[in-house]
Structure 1
Amino acid sequence: MLANIGDFFSSGTNLLFFLFALFAIGGAIFMISFTKVVSMVVSVAVTFLSLAGLYVLLEAEFLAMAQVLIYAGGISILMIFGIMMTRHQGDETEAKRPWHSALLWIGSLGLFGLLFYAFQKTSFPQAQLQSPEDNTLEIGKLLFTEHVIPFELMSILLTVAFIGAIVLAKREEE
């Protein structure tokens, strides 16, 4: 059982996968554990950057760059601006949750143990992926031929949400 661990970590790609996955899971756990909003935003940014690293390992460079630009950059900055534009109480009292940390660690270790056992007992088939020459070109072709209607509907939805956020921010100001 432990021989598989040595085989797994003998490859640099697998080691990077493990580190990126660890940071992604850790950032998500810290996001739901922290009580201060700025710490939550930093945790989400770590998770987004780790996911971009996983995309690079999967040879999806376009998705990795989109992840960094849109989520790690844009969404995190948007969250920070939202924090700065809203009013907060000067005294932030942290809620007392004595069992929260213990249950969080027990659940995390249990999940890790379960996943570790499942990966050790599973035999993964070795297959070669036929990736296209240019990932970005193929994504562009699919996006602007087969999926053009959902793409345009999503842009309209995001525009309406942005206008709604501006209207709500103006109402709070007055």
Structure 2
Amino acid sequence: MTGEFLAFILLALIAITGGVLLLNLSKVVHMVMALVATFLSIAGIYILLSAEFLAFVQVLIYSGAITIIMLFGIMLTKHDDKEDVSPGRLKKLLLFLGIAGFGIVFYMGIYNLGFSGTAEDLHINNTAQIGTAIYTKYIIPFELASVVLLVALIGAIILAKKEPEEEAE
């Protein structure tokens, strides 16, 4: 057993525990904190895979920006926490069996997977390789995505802007 394997097991357990807590907690803010733990552990797994750029993006975008947006959405909307509907035993059992079945099928699919190819040194200067690929081969889709995001931002601002109500005569 290597340290890398132990780190992977620890990070995977944190990610799974965060996901299970996300589904089982009753307070929304606690759910978001469980989601943050899952996002951060996935970033740690990216680091173990020598994908530092993806780990940085995972922490910056998901653990930071998406979580803050979710918290603002929760704080700015009205919601009633009066209804406490707890699922029955049969529903919990079916949910557990479904998750366990998915895990077994997923494990078997990965366990029997064989890669037949030459090993490449993708982990060497991977951030530079991503930048070179984005700004050479994929420059048009990259710029189109930025234009679509800009249009979405402008549309969200226009929709969120309240106009003063006109007085009826």
Q: The TM-score by the shorter chain falls in which range?
A: 0.7 to 0.9
Would you say 1:20 and 2:11 are equivalent positions?
yes
Paired residue type of 1:74: A
Partner residue of 1:40 out of 24, 31, 41: 31
Task: Report the alpha carbon displacement of residue 34 of structure 1 after superposing the two structures with TM.
Answer: 4.0
SS at match of 1:28: helix
| Residues 1:86 and 1:165: Cα distance change in structure 2 (over 3 Å) | farther
Partner residue of 1:87 out of 75, 78, 103: 78
Cα RMSD for the two superposed structures: 3.1
The answer to whether the 8 Å contact 1:20/1:54 transfers is: yes
The answer to whether the 8 Å contact 1:49/1:72 transfers is: yes
Question: Partner residue of 1:105?
Answer: 96
Task: Report the alpha carbon displacement of residue 128 of structure 1 after superposing the two structures with TM.
Answer: 4.8
- CA radius of gyration, larger in: 2
Instruction: Tell me the TM-score normalised to structure 2 length.
Output: 0.76
Question: Partner residue of 1:51?
Answer: 42
| Residues 1:167 and 1:88: Cα distance change in structure 2 (over 3 Å) | farther
Percent identity over the alignment?
A: 43
The answer to whether the 8 Å contact 1:45/1:72 transfers is: yes
Structure 1 gaps, min length 5 = 1-9
Task: Report the alpha carbon displacement of residue 17 of structure 1 after superposing the two structures with TM.
Answer: 1.7
The answer to whether the 8 Å contact 2:19/2:34 transfers is: yes
Paired residue type of 1:94: D
Question: Partner residue of 1:155?
Answer: 146
Structure 2 gaps, min length 5 = none
| Residues 1:152 and 1:118: Cα distance change in structure 2 (over 3 Å) | closer
Instruction: Tell me the TM-score normalised to structure 1 length.
Output: 0.74
Distance in 1 (CA, whole Å) between partners of 2:79 and 2:36 is: 22
Which structure's residues are more often helix, by fraction?
1
Question: Partner residue of 1:5?
Answer: none
| Residues 1:158 and 1:125: Cα distance change in structure 2 (over 3 Å) | closer
The answer to whether the 8 Å contact 1:52/1:65 transfers is: yes
